[in-house]
Amino acid sequence: MNIKSLIQRHPVVSYFVMTYIISWLAALLVAAPQLVQGKPLGQLQGILMFPAMLLGPSITGITLTAVVDGRSGLRDLFARMGRWRVGIQWYALAILIPPVVILAVLLTMRMVVSPIYTPGQFVYGAGFGVVAGFFEEIGWTGYAYPKMREQRSPLAAAVLLGVLWGLWHMPVVDFLGAAWPHGAYWSPFFLAFIALVTAMRVLISWVASNTQSVLLAQLMHASSTGFLATLSPSPLSPAHEALWYAVYAGALWLVVVLVAVTFGKTLMGRSSLAAA
């Protein structure tokens, strides 16, 4: 069996294997100069690892679409990336849910827990969101999610994709957020982070499923990452950051429950089902 046949028989497993290998290898290459010299990674090197990791989902998504679905698949992928004529309500939901939930959580924690949870104003954080949202969703929403829905419900596929998406961040997770290094709180922070991104993945999949638009998924991802970077309070101790990520994750899961109760396991409204 040649590689092409193997990929076509296992399109989902092939995607995650290739994505993890490309992304983690790219991150390792960025970190290599420090590691070879036996020096600990600084925060700057850690942050620079993340753009390199974006090669994984984007390159793999396009490559496997061509291998598995051919030219028609590529045309469909690029068409969904350019699909902007959707209801204005979906733009509002995609862009506004992340900052509204973040601000609600932080303002509540500032009043109830401590003033240290005052929202930040790191305006350049929006740039991180735009880059991450554009490149990552080519793979996650453009390729992986539709393939995963073929074997399970859209809701279950979104949850599984969210967990795998969270684990994909492992090489750089210690450099995410305002606290660094996380030390003894690395595990609680990582678990809270996975819970957070899994909930967000369900919401991204919900928006994408109802609009058939990768572009809307890119916008919601950009909003999520961008506002998280912009509004996260700083400075924070690792313990305080793990707590606020956990509370934010819990708030997002409340939104997910509301979506699941309203739309069911398909994550789609009747009009969307009729148009699909």
Residue 177, Ramachandran bin (φ over 0: left; ψ between -120 and 50: alpha; else beta) = left
Q: Which two three-digit tokens encode residue 90?
A: 């979906």
Of residues 175 and 95, which shows the higher confidence score? 95
In whole angstroms, what is the distance from residue 154 CA to residue 174 CA?
31
HSE toward the beta carbon, residue 270, CA cutoff 13 A: 0
Mean pLDDT of 241-245: 97
Tell me the whole-structure pTM to 2 decimals: 0.95
Q: Which range marks the domain in which residue 18 is found?
A: 3-275
Quote the pLDDT of residue 271.
56
pLDDT tens digit string along 54-79? 999 999 999 999 999 999 999 999 99
In whole angstroms, what is the distance from residue 75 CA to residue 245 CA?
38
Mean pLDDT of 82-108: 98
Q: In whole numbers, what is the pLDDT of the chain averaged over residues? A: 94
Instruction: Give the total number of structural domains in the chain.
Output: 1
Q: Specify whether the CB–CB gap between 12 and 147 falls below 8 A.
A: yes
H or E element: which one contains 27?
helix 11-36
Q: How confident is the model at residue 270 (pLDDT cuts 50, 70, 90)?
A: low
pLDDT tens digit string along 146-181? 999 999 999 999 999 999 999 999 999 988 888 888
Mean pLDDT of 110-125: 93
